[in-house]
Amino acid sequence: MNYESTSELVVVGAGFSGMAVAIQLLKRLRGTACVCLINRSLSFGRGLAYGTNSPSHLLNVPAGRMGIEPGHESGFIEYLQSRGMPYGASDFVPRSLYGDYLEHSLLTAQAGADEGVRLEILEDEVVAIDPVSEGGIQILRLSSGVIIKATQVVLALGNFMPRPPATGHYADWTNLPLINDVWLHGQLERLPRDASVLLIGTGLTAYDAVLRLLDQGHLGPISMLSRRGLLPQPHREQEVPPASGIVPADFLLDESSVCQQLRRVRELIRHTCASGNDWRDVIGGLRSHTPRLWHQLGVGARQQFLRHLLPYWDTHRHRAAPAIFNRIQLAIQRGQLQVLAGRLMDIDVKDANCANVRWKARGATQSMMTSYAAVVNCTGPSSDLKRVSDPLIVQLREHGMLGIDSEDLGLRVDDSYRIIRYDGHPLAVVRYVGPLLKAQFWEATAVPELRSHAVRLVDAMLGPRI
């Protein structure tokens, strides 16, 4: 039986972005107000990135830069040290500890909130938002039958399931030997220790899969396959913030050619390294410029970047903790892990223990067939909202409430983070923050950018802080 609940402010999703918004609201609301935080499970602050319990899965950013407040980067390391954990600001710590920190930050904000401000937590799923609001009130429908009326809604939806790789024949990625969700509990654990495993993808998700297999004592051969066979580069052993002043404030201003941008970046890296600094200083220094650089590119130039340069950018921009990179290299050196550069052509499943994979090595004219006991999709989360099957996304899409970008990177928002509809008009009281902002800002997947987006979104809702 349906019943109604009323809440002034609803945040849908309790990963990093949802927690950051809820914390800002609890700290800044005055008078009488209710913040309703809705998540499918009560493991708040975990999400895809921080839900792992493996000590081998480390943050890809030093602990000293992971504070949830933009003006307080050291918040996370202070939390660790206050609990007697022997970590320094330059250490790469287990991701599960960051989930603990986010939960602690929410509880602290709740305890310090104004007397009339309360936090309501619901373990539920929003499956629909009525396309027309009633006098500034938005109607949310939950899978449990609950109907919530809200004056403001923030969708803090994180990453979606990866799309199964395209193959010549139909491949059922819901059953072994094919594994589409590397994070689904029990999937990798069910594999025999001597099983031959193929990972589709060579990025950070593949790194995580390799570490999980190694940690459970896997002895069989592991292969990683991607078009170019590129691996994420490591951070420095003692990672420090990028040296200031290396990337000029007007760098590449009004430059709309991808080739020219690439040429200038390479020149700057050569000059930087010749001056005794590191290429990572250039990549790090570009972070504040990339939203502008992305906007400068036309549709054709963006597609050119995505088609030809994205793998090179990702492997240098999204780096691995040194300890993780070293373990990957050791597995390669001892012959258990093999990196393949080539194109997946087809998969023929024989039974639950065997998949024949046809692939063509980069530069080869003929394809080859190799058998594996398991094939794991490690291509990373999907941002193609035209194909995402999440119930809420499907409902919003079918009602024209999502302005999906042409590059399938996410959705469009206005300057107040209100979601732009298919017809180009913004939704009145529904906003978005999370990795799907990549479509508009490019840099929108890591903590430093997402915490700033969360603050600016709350500024748009409540007005700038005084």
C-beta atoms surrounding 170 within 10 Å:
9
Domain membership flag for residue 146: yes
C-beta atoms surrounding 55 within 10 Å:
13
Q: Does residue 309 share a domain with residue 331?
A: no
Q: Quote the CA–CA distance of 404 and 402 in Å, as a whole number.
A: 6
Boundary residue ending a domain (361, 377, 393): 377
Q: Does residue 352 share a domain with residue 432?
A: no
Domain membership flag for residue 189: yes
Tell me the residue range of the domain where 265 lies: 258-317
Q: Does residue 339 share a domain with residue 223?
A: yes
Q: Does residue 138 share a domain with residue 207?
A: no
Q: Quote the CA–CA distance of 40 and 51 in Å, as a whole number.
A: 13
Q: What is the CATH number of the domain that holds 133?
A: 3.50.50.60
Domain membership flag for residue 251: no
Closest CA to 401 of 124, 13, 132: 132
Domain membership flag for residue 59: yes
Query: What values do phi and psi take at 306, rounded to 5?
Result: -65, -35
Q: Does residue 331 share a domain with residue 217?
A: yes
Query: What values do phi and psi take at 60, rounded to 5?
Result: -95, 10
Domain membership flag for residue 82: yes
Please say whether the dihedral angle defined by the alpha carbons of residues 207, 208, 212 and 213, taken in this order, is positive or negative: negative
CA angle at 448 for the pair 284 and 281, rounded to the nearest 5°: 10
Domain membership flag for residue 340: yes
- The structural domain count of the chain equals 3
Q: pLDDT truncated to tens, each residue of the chain (466 aa)?
A: 344 555 689 999 999 999 999 999 999 999 999 999 999 987 776 655 555 667 888 998 899 999 999 889 999 999 999 999 999 999 999 998 999 999 999 999 999 999 999 999 999 999 999 987 766 789 999 999 999 999 999 999 988 989 999 888 888 898 889 999 888 878 899 999 999 999 999 999 999 999 999 999 999 999 999 999 999 999 998 777 777 889 999 999 988 899 999 999 999 999 999 999 999 999 999 988 999 999 999 899 999 999 999 999 999 999 999 999 999 999 999 999 999 999 999 999 989 899 999 999 999 999 999 999 999 999 999 999 999 999 999 999 999 999 888 899 999 999 999 999 999 999 989 999 999 999 999 988 889 899 999 999 999 999 766 5
Boundary residue ending a domain (286, 317, 348): 317
Q: Does residue 351 share a domain with residue 398?
A: no
Q: Does residue 443 share a domain with residue 311?
A: no
Domain membership flag for residue 208: yes
Domain membership flag for residue 282: yes
Boundary residue ending a domain (334, 361, 377): 377
Q: Fill in the DSSP letter of residue 437.
A: G
